[in-house]
Chain A
């Protein structure tokens, strides 16, 4: 079911090409590697959750070419990404920024882990307390035990 949905939507974009095309690639392998790395973090805006590096849509093709143009023009990786964010908004970033409300997103894992471990710690301490309290039998239990043993 999940794949069905993924694919059906994937196909909303025409499948005329396949991700990175040979004719898009830069001659300089260093620059090309940087372009690939940047592309992996940029969203193909008309696709579902796909990076422009993987996408077959024509917009992804345009963006890949754009990234390479910026690199050839001498931009740093950060500048290329900023250029695209200025143009398309933060929607284009597959890796959300850490600013503002996104702090909640990024900190959720560690915070929940600490919270969970804290709960476990409390639970274990409580259990231990219970365990100790349970150790000496009350007089009533003692009497019952004696009676059970007699029987």
Chain B
């Protein structure tokens, strides 16, 4: 019964979205306030309906309703509750339902918090947002309906892929979707502004928090996924340049570009049409990502939806929205008149360079991702584009970006001087080069990756520190400290995020350059050296789990006689899925992770054992978290909170009359 209600609620949501798409748009065009006002209750109703529908599906998972095909395919009574809940979105149909849930959530939030938006703009934004909803409701209802029943329900389900039964992964999709779909708000604002034919600082002030929030969620989502693969896949890889990963990296890069260019629109009223284009592209690449993942069009992408109908459907959605938005852009972008004038050496130019580098790097990832498809269709060549290509083609842009970043943050608006900007950064540059040189001298004969990473990381962190200090002006230390604490949150956010990037870059380079690996057959009781450590395999025993059987190894890691860690890597076997998984044991540390994996028993006794020392590995995810924290800090800046306050003041006035 609840299932049918959920199904029905989803169909109702489609009907409401259709109304929300048409009525406010017409109202905005004709200037009828009543028609425009339809958008607000419609957006809220839509969200409530989809939330109910999603809740119904989750209920089916939690109560093991095996009359639902989706539950049978993806769940099992023995599965822990957390993964029954996460199982709701751990499959194609459910994840698309999560997609529209978040879409309608953003729509409802724009309606609730959008009180101080001009009514016409708000009506149009919500109408565009609803049109995206319509497309995806139809997609779900006609190609990926999660509420299909089985005529003869089985006694139990087929279980969930054991590798997905992990807390890191349970929350990875919701964060990614919050990011992907958050960019739909930027898109809706961009299209609404194009219909309106007007973009001003207020518009940018509205778009920026949505973009920033989407970017923060994407950052966390990507970091979670990478953190998960680091400890689950059994050898500590954290990024594979897989098309599915690239699908999330491209929107992230575009979102980063967009939130920087929106600053220029907000503060200087320049780069308007470029910002609009970026907003369209950022969401476009979210859709492309969805398409790549869902359609299985790229041979390497064996996504769970290998149904060509779905692929074609998403391609149509992509074509309609991108084609429509870009045509509108071509027709209207000329009307976006820029106001702020700036010279070649200025913060505006630095932000333009940032945008060029981010956009080009995203395009490189895009071309690398679709090239196997293009080569096969256009040149009849079946080839692969893998990590070696991306490792060469992508980092130069990131390095260039990191190099100019501190200059950009110190550069004044309108007109600056390179020499005056560079002066306070000199100490940071010297420190970065000195540390890089020191690392180079100490590592004797390894690749330059480590020292370069250290130098870049230091440069970014030092640049962020200098950025903060110069904003406190001159004078006594006490005064400057006081001013430091009173700096706008946006300043703190910017410097935090930039420093976080530096830390992440250092972590990535450090672990890639300086890791130690040891693969061997170890007998029980045997000790062997790994880097500066000695690893001993003490015992191997069997241990039962809730829905798996585990082989657990007891291993001790010592350094110069002192015990550093006692670790228990596991090999699990999930009988329901008939699938083994490897659970590495990791001793986390600021300077290094010790990463142990136990493998299969060997014919002549002993076990295959892999040991890794991974220096600075955790800095990658700490850096990502710091970046995300920077985004959150910036999001709580006074100018966004004031916008909400202003609305309250306005309503109070009305009441007083």
Please list the residues of chain A having a beta carbon within 8 angstroms of any beta carbon in chain B. Answer: 1-9, 11-12, 15-23, 25, 40-41, 43, 48-51, 54, 89-97, 100-102, 105-106, 108-109, 112-113, 116-117, 120, 123-124, 127-128, 130-131, 134
Contacts and interface: CB of A to CB of B under 8 A. Distances in A.
A106 B396 CA distance: 13
Task: Name the prevailing secondary structure of the A interface residues.
Answer: helix
Contacts, number: 187
Contacts of A101: 375, 378-379, 381
Interface string B4-26: 00000000000000000000000
Interface string B222-255: 0001001100011101001111110110000000
Nearest to B379: A101
A49 B581 contact: no
B344 A124 contact: yes
Contacts of B397: 109, 113
A4 B620 CA distance: 21
B144 to A, nearest CB: 13
Interface of B: 90, 95, 161, 163-164, 169, 172-173, 176-177, 225, 228-229, 233-235, 237, 240-245, 247-248, 293, 300-304, 338, 341-344, 349, 352-353, 356-357, 359-361, 363-364, 367-368, 371, 375, 378-379, 381-389, 392-393, 396-397, 519-521, 579-582, 597, 599-600, 602, 608-610
Contacts of A100: 379, 381
Nearest to A15: B580
Given A2-B244, A12-B302, A22-B521, A7 B386 contact: no
Contact of B521 (A23, A41, A128): A23
17 contacts: A2-B176, A6-B229, A8-B302, A21-B599, A41-B388, A43-B384, A48-B300, A48-B301, A101-B379, A109-B364, A112-B363, A113-B360, A116-B356, A120-B349, A120-B356, A124-B344, A128-B344
A19 B652 CA distance: 67
A5 B580 contact: no
B359 A116 contact: yes
A5 B302 contact: yes
Nearest to A113: B360
Contacts of B177: 1
A100 B229 CA distance: 36
B304 A5 contact: yes
B304 A106 contact: no
Given A5-B302, A120-B349, 10 more contacts: A4-B161, A6-B240, A6-B245, A18-B599, A19-B235, A21-B599, A49-B386, A105-B368, A109-B361, A130-B341
